[in-house]
Structure 1
Amino acid sequence: MKKFIFILIGIIVLSCNNSEKSKNTNEKVVKKELRPFFDSDKIDHYYLASRSNFEHSSHDDSLKEEKKKEFSSFFYGNYPETLSNKNFENLLLKYNYNQSKLSVKQQKEIENVFSEKDSLKNDACACIAEYRDIFIFKKKTKTVGIAKICFKNARFQIIGSKIDTEGFGLINELDKLGSIVRFNDKKP
């Protein structure tokens, strides 16, 4: 009888050890390296500083109708739709967007936010986007990607990624991104 109890205890102990190894193996499989959306070596961040800049730029009667349309095309709309527009950065500066001086650490944190996700975004906003923050990803001075962000309405547009960007845009990601580039603002 004692032998039977020792054998039973031995089997239980060994099976517990094996299940612990199985758990560790499963954890390693679940964790995977998330690839960044863009293969870049530099990130430029442009932002429209305040509401007054926006109102001045978009509602000033002295602006010609053509300039209003041009501004609206990228502030509210999907312009640019491709990376082929070489003058996009000049256009941003023309309409009072400021360029941030991002540290290497900030660029690495931004790259981590703009990376492949396991989750899917399941919420949507019906409000019109106001793209005040624009990230331009570059590789050897050539633009390889553009991400336009509307923190106010949790909207985004990503151009140039070869990776599926459907999982991007969760509120915690946008909050993290906002805290990286807008740490002086209370609310982006």
Structure 2
Amino acid sequence: MTKPLIKSVIIILIFSSCQQNGDYYFHFDEVNHYSIKIDENELFDLEEKKNISKNQQLKLDIILNNKPKKITDTTFIPRLTVLGFKKNKVPSTKHVELNKIFREKHHDEVYALACVHVYRDILIFKKSDSIIGIAKICFDCLNSQILGTSANTIEFGQSGDYGKLYKLLNYN
């Protein structure tokens, strides 16, 4: 092989190995986990009511709908505990494990469940006290809404990562 060809092969190998373990979604120094125990039927009953309070509507928008739509929409976060969410700071000893889950990965098989997403878990990622990422997780449907990253999140949670994340967050 000629030297230019060998250099090209090496560059291709390096590039393809980088593709297997892609970018981290977030570079964070703090993570807050908000969770709520709420029955789906309670949410669906609330959704059927005609006159509901602003707090009830916000709860529905967060748990069942696409709120927030942008990473800059953070006004709902201080209201989460008022809405019934429990807040826990994820210990920094768990950050390495979180990074292993919240990064671009390639999976041979990708699964999706067809169910109504109920986002009972929300992770708020911070760097220097600024919110840099939001991840809403539905462990029942194995689905997520992730904001604040330019990384490809389409295969998030596959290959057992939802189970790993569940165990990591429910460490008590």
Q: What's the TM-score, normalizing by structure 1?
A: 0.71
Higher relative contact order (CA 8 A, sep 6+): 2
| Whole-angstrom CA distance in 1 between matches of 2:141 and 2:158 | 12
Instruction: Give the drift of 1:70.
Output: 1.7
Cα-to-partner distance string for 1:58-85 (whole Å, 9 max, x where unaligned): 74x8x83443322111101110000122
| Whole-angstrom CA distance in 1 between matches of 2:87 and 2:144 | 19
1:30-179 mapped onto 2 (5 Å cutoff)? 31-32=17-18, 33-48=21-36, 50-51=37-38, 55=42, 59=46, 64-119=52-107, 122-170=110-158, 172-179=160-167
| Whole-angstrom CA distance in 2 between matches of 1:175 and 1:80 | 24
Larger Rg: 1
Aligned Cα root-mean-square deviation (Å): 2.8
Greater helix proportion: 1
- Identity across matched positions, percent: 27
Instruction: Give the drift of 1:114.
Output: 0.5
Aligned residue pair count: 155
Give the letter aligned to residue 51 of structure 1: I
Cα-to-partner distance string for 1:74-121 (whole Å, 9 max, x where unaligned): 101110000122322112112111111321111221122101112266
Structure 1 residues without counterparts, runs of 5 or longer? 1-24
Structure 2 residues without counterparts, runs of 5 or longer? 1-9
1:8-27 mapped onto 2 (5 Å cutoff)? none
| Whole-angstrom CA distance in 2 between matches of 1:183 and 1:31 | 33
